[in-house]
Structure 1
Amino acid sequence: MSLIQIRGFDIDIKGWGGEDVHLYRKYLHSNLLVIRAPSRGLFHLWHEKHCADELPPDQYRMCMQSKAMNEASHGQLGMLFFRHEIEAHLRKQKQQNAKKI
């Protein structure tokens, strides 16, 4: 079964992505064995992702997930997520140190 037989990419998708996910799902629902094999000659050219406000909610969420996975480390994302707790801890430490003086 070829790319043409499964009707390739969904060209009706407007704006950011999702077409690659839909293509992968078409292959999964076919009779083909799907594997993802690394290739030294294959690479993804980095490009900025712009998640437009006009995207439908599910497409916008996927865009933001892709942006998060590719443009920040787990550590950076964790620091952003827990920043209020970290800031509160630092304030408490400063207050305790000020009392000691």
Structure 2
Amino acid sequence: MSYPLACAETFDQTINRKADRHMGIANLNISVTEKRMMSEAEAASYCGLPAKHFKVCCNVQPVNLGGKALRYDKRDLDRWIDAEKTGDVDTSREAILSRL
């Protein structure tokens, strides 16, 4: 038996209609908290750099949060990236040596 074109329903529409009727509609609440402090590996990834290259070229000082927990502040990393983009990088001898 064929149905008139105006009444035709696609297979997906039929499945979705039946699923909605039997399963109801589910809502998913997801809360994402952005980290501010990052490990060295996370900071390197955030900056889009390999860890070895990050150690050499990034002059952002990590924050000691107690014990061996050195963390990089996302805001400091953002300022460093912005300075790199504008060319405001300190090129003094001391600054270059401190990055090595």
TM-score greater than 0.5 by the shorter chain: no
TM-score w.r.t. the length of structure 2 is: 0.24
| Bigger Rg over Cα | 2
TM-score w.r.t. the length of structure 1 is: 0.24
Structure with more strand by fraction: 2
